[in-house]
A and B are shown apart, each in its own frame.
Chain A
Amino acid sequence: MNELLRRLFFLPEQGSTFAVKVDHLHYFLFLTTLVVATGIGVTGLTFLVRYHRGTAPTPTPRVVAPPWLEGLFIGVPLSFFLLWFVLGFRQYVWVSSPPRDALDVYVTGKQWMWKFTYPGGPSAIDTLVVPAGRPVRLLITSRDVIHSFYVPDFRMKRDAVPGRYTEIWFEAPKPGRHLVLCAEYCGLDHSQMRGEVVVLKPADFEAWRAAQLGGVPVAGLPGAATKPQPESMAVRGEHVAAAQGCLQCHTITGAPHIGPTWLGLYGRREPLEGGGVVLADEAYLTESMMDPLAKVVAGYVPVMPGYHGLLSAEDAGALVEFIKSLQPTRPGVTAAQEPAYVPIRR
């Protein structure tokens, strides 16, 4: 049934867990539409034949809808609309809230290519390699104009906006290849800005990644065009932190200074100046770089300058990865339940 309807509506392959959910709502909504459309068509044609000028009596009677009919006209469609909205919005919330154990990949759009960077390395152009059966979270940004990362087989897209990170996640249940397109008009070669998601079995994925980090091109793998990058994001983040002077106020030893320490910061729940608590995740960390005064941790003076426009998207991502790599060595002190990213070393 699912397969039949999918082909009937010209939908592409269902490449992710989200695609299956969305398609079911699609069928529900569209079959209802078709039924009602048929109803409208049949009613219209019946009226056309039954009350044709040639046979209908004139003058016509005055007919005014009674209140109960007006109520029906409003109530029935409204309840369907709201039902669909509730179903759809739950899916939207679901796809906007990545699970904790997701594999992170940074996605950077630029005219006219996609760059994918894994926290521990490597990075690749136009080919995103992911393991099957594991949630993957994409942290998306752009280096020039707005792009939109779109995978029709996954039924999802998210804009890549310069100056900020957007996120979305997916889980591809089985190995395969899926087309990546740019869905937001971005200039001359917008239509050529394509890429590919390659879903590998988890073991194959680890082998691929290890090979990439070792700088050995693996023959036969779809990522043959990708370039290995010797410097992992966390290492690069350390250089950025030094160059931008972050370490003048933030320590990496655990000692509080002008700003909070970065050691174990990622995943910590921080009390805020003026009440409230915030979870120091990627969103909060990037926000604090760009707009530091929005949420100041309690006990610190709001003195940090904003780095909006000063930090490139890649540098900001590298800094986040650097902070994430700074986990205390003694287990169980903070953030024990958080995914700890250990930079892969060669």
Chain B
Amino acid sequence: MSPSAAEPERLPPDNYLADGHTLWSWLTTKDHKRIGVMFLGLTLFFFFMGGVFALALRIELLTPGRTIMGHLAYNRMFTLHGVTMVWLFMIPAIPSAFGNFLVPLMIGARDVAFPRLNLASVYLYVLGASIALWGMFEGGADTGWTFYTPYSTTTGTAVLPVLLGVFIIGFSTIVTGLNFIATVHTLRAPGLGWMKLPLFVWAVYGTAIIQVLATPVLGMVLLLVALERVVGAGIFDPARGGDPLLFQHLFWFYSHPAVYIMVLPSMGVISEAVSAFSRKNALSYRMIVYSTLGISFVGFFTWGHHMFASGQSTFGAGAFGAMSMLVAIFTAIKIFSWLGTLYRGSIAVEAPLIYTLGFMFFLFFGGMIGVAYATTSLNLHWHDTYSVVAHFHFIMVGATVMAFLAALHYWFPKMFGRTFPGKLANGAALLVIFGFIATFVPQFLLGNLGMPRRYADYPPHFQTLHVASTTGASLLAFGLLCIAGYLAWSLRYGAIAGDDPWGSEGFEWKSQSPPPTHNFPVTPEYPTGPHEYAPREAEVPHAA
């Protein structure tokens, strides 16, 4: 932690946290910052729950045969883990929590465009999450988070409440996305042009486009599954003339872009953090902007790569494979740009930077495995094995959770006005990264060996790698608990941070930390783009 020049002793008195201390003042707030903090608390809670479910799964997999639970309990447990992590944690984590908090601050606005809708999205989220979880504990769906028909329409478990819960959460997502698009279009401060926007804002904007366009399709497809169960509608049931593959097409039309809902905002976080902690402008701002928009556009045309083994036409497989290669190139561009941003910088080794480096490495590996799937022939071996499990955990945990932790540490002083113990944070970051590697590299090798996913029981030759993975998972869990511990401590006892403890030139730091209720007493001016640490004339071309 770099100490700021003058150590203030108290938080500024006019901050948004001090503006009303009652529960009522939080429940009825229209302040985007308080809504962001509420989302942060809720998503952290569900992250914890999802993590507990994950550990239960890992313990069951320690030995072949029954370890702590039977097949039905295992099947319900992985559904619970998937639904919790995807819809209750991943999708709202960065956009709804950090996006809500930061986007208005970054564009010099006093709030988002529709504050009341914003509050409604919190309530929709809580309602949907409650219904889904109630259903999970009451009856417990055992379909996996993908709800593939005809299994999901014929299984005897309680699928309906889960479908309904996810359906309602979908509305929360749409409202959030709608709000962000309108905010970025209409509330930018005077003088803040599109190509001066912070890269996090671009990332959230790209995410919002996917949120509003993809989520309605999910809503409808879940409703069709529900109708299938209630009235035997027949749309996806081969016995009634329907086609189960249509479900997969519609589902992945949402769920593939949904991957980008989870990963695009994390790329935005990394773009900010890498600049802030190396005191450098982005190596290629416009490449990152265009690749963000490229991902949100091309991401809509790659869903078929989840279905290479399903019997879709060979031509279809080829087209989707080629499109997937195009999406991968956008990610590759970003990785090179982040790496290049470090060049000739002034790098501070703080926890967010360590997470950023971990992020880049894991995103690269996870992405390259994705590229391997897109060759179509390799996918025939790996599809639906632990290789896929490892692949999306590399992206979802290795990239998104790392970015989430980077964001949590980078913006902790912004949100709460206090710093955390820096050395401890660095240690925990290394622990989390090693725990991650130990958990998921064995899973990747398990996939090579041919271990299919969603197996409660397995042939004995897979056991060694499973034990290694479970060991890694315990390490990862321990690291995460450490972080929870010192951040909770810092919330009350951390040193007062001051307005800009990192010396960052990101636009969100133009306001006081923590910001006052209406962010800016005077709208700030924007003479340059974000993260310009050098005087304008000192422009040096990249010498490779």
Contacts and interface: CB of A to CB of B under 8 A. Distances in A.
Bind each other: yes
Interface string A264-295: 00000000000000000000000000000000
Given A65-B283, A163-B244, A164-B311, A51 B378 contact: no
A310 B449 CA distance: 40
B51 interface: no
Interface string A125-144: 00000000000000000001
Nearest to A29: B372
A92 B314 contact: yes
B329 A92 contact: no
B281 A63 contact: yes
A253 interface: no
Contacts of B383: 148, 157, 183
B347 interface: yes
Contact of B322 (A66, A85, A93): A85
Contacts, number: 301
Contact of B365 (A9, A33, A70): A33
A96 B347 contact: no
Interface string B154-172: 1100000000000000000
B309 A159 contact: yes
A64 interface: yes
B452 A58 contact: no
Nearest to A97: B314
Interface in B148-196: 148, 150-151, 154-155
A21 B532 CA distance: 51
Contacts of A65: 283-284, 287, 337, 340, 542
Interface SS of chain A: mixed
Interface stretch (B88-96, B259-267, B424-432, B454-462): B454-462
A146 to B, nearest CB: 6
A185 B151 contact: yes
B20 interface: no
Contact of A11 (B151, B348, B372, B448): B448
A228 to B, nearest CB: 28
B450 A152 contact: yes
Contacts of A145: 148, 150-151, 154
A155 B344 contact: no
Contact of A51 (B72, B346, B539): B346
A158 B329 contact: no
A157 B380 contact: yes
B309 A95 contact: no
A60 B384 contact: no
Given A12-B450, A63-B542, A88-B376, A157 B349 contact: no
Contacts of B287: 65, 70, 73
Contacts of A190: 71, 75, 454-456
Nearest to A52: B347
Contacts of A152: 381, 449-450
A63 B540 contact: yes
B405 to A, nearest CB: 18
A53 B347 contact: yes
B244 A162 contact: yes
A185 B402 CA distance: 29
A181 B329 contact: no
B21 interface: no
A150 B387 CA distance: 14
Contacts of A51: 278, 342-347
Interface string B517-533: 00000000000000011
Contacts of B361: 37, 40-41, 44
B217 interface: no
Max chain A Cβ within 10 angstroms of own Cβ: one of B325, B345, B361? B345
Nearest to A44: B357
Interface in B309-348: 309-311, 314, 317-318, 321-322, 325, 328-329, 332-333, 335-337, 339-340, 342-348
B353 to A, nearest CB: 9
Contacts of B377: 21-22, 25, 87-92, 95
B148 A146 contact: yes
Contacts of B230: none
A179 B321 CA distance: 28
Contacts of B332: 73, 77
B450 A150 contact: yes
Contacts of B456: 190-191
Chain A residues touching B, range: 35 or more
B216 interface: no
B314 A96 contact: yes
B360 A159 contact: no
Contacts of A309: 238-241
A152 B360 CA distance: 31
Contacts of A315: none
A10 B466 CA distance: 13
Contacts of B345: 47, 51, 56, 60
B470 to A, nearest CB: 17
Given A33-B368, A81-B329, A92-B380, A157 B244 contact: no
Contacts of B346: 51, 53, 56-58, 60
B142 A191 contact: no
A84 interface: yes
B142 A187 contact: yes
A159 B307 CA distance: 9
B23 interface: no
Contacts of B150: 144-146, 162
Interface in A5-40: 9-12, 21-22, 25-26, 29-30, 33, 36-37, 40
Nearest to A65: B284
A161 interface: yes
A48 interface: yes
Contacts of B211: none
Interface string A246-257: 000000000000
B482 interface: no
B144 A185 contact: yes
A81 B538 contact: no
Interface string A196-207: 000000000000
B279 interface: yes
B344 A60 contact: yes
Contacts of B335: 40
B245 A60 contact: no
B436 interface: no
B278 to A, nearest CB: 7
A332 interface: no
10 closest residue pairs by CB, A with B: A152-B450, A88-B375, A163-B238, A166-B311, A91-B377, A191-B455, A62-B534, A92-B376, A155-B381, A56-B346
Given A60-B346, A92-B314, A187-B151, 16 more contacts: A12-B450, A22-B377, A29-B375, A44-B339, A48-B342, A53-B346, A60-B278, A60-B345, A60-B533, A62-B281, A63-B540, A89-B375, A144-B150, A146-B151, A190-B454, A191-B458
Interface of B: 71-72, 75, 142-144, 148, 150-151, 154-155, 238-241, 243-245, 278-281, 283-285, 287, 308-311, 314, 317-318, 321-322, 325, 328-329, 332-333, 335-337, 339-340, 342-349, 357, 360-361, 364-365, 368, 371-372, 374-378, 380-381, 383-385, 445-446, 448-450, 452-459, 465, 532-536, 538-542, 544
30 contacts: A10-B446, A22-B377, A37-B361, A40-B339, A44-B360, A47-B345, A51-B278, A53-B349, A64-B539, A70-B287, A73-B336, A85-B325, A88-B376, A89-B321, A91-B376, A92-B377, A145-B151, A146-B151, A150-B450, A150-B452, A152-B449, A155-B380, A158-B309, A163-B238, A163-B244, A183-B309, A183-B385, A185-B143, A309-B240, A309-B241
Interface of A: 9-12, 21-22, 25-26, 29-30, 33, 36-37, 40-41, 43-44, 47-48, 51-53, 56-66, 69-70, 73-74, 77-78, 81-82, 84-85, 87-93, 95-96, 144-146, 148, 150, 152-153, 155-159, 161-164, 166, 179, 181-192, 194, 308-309
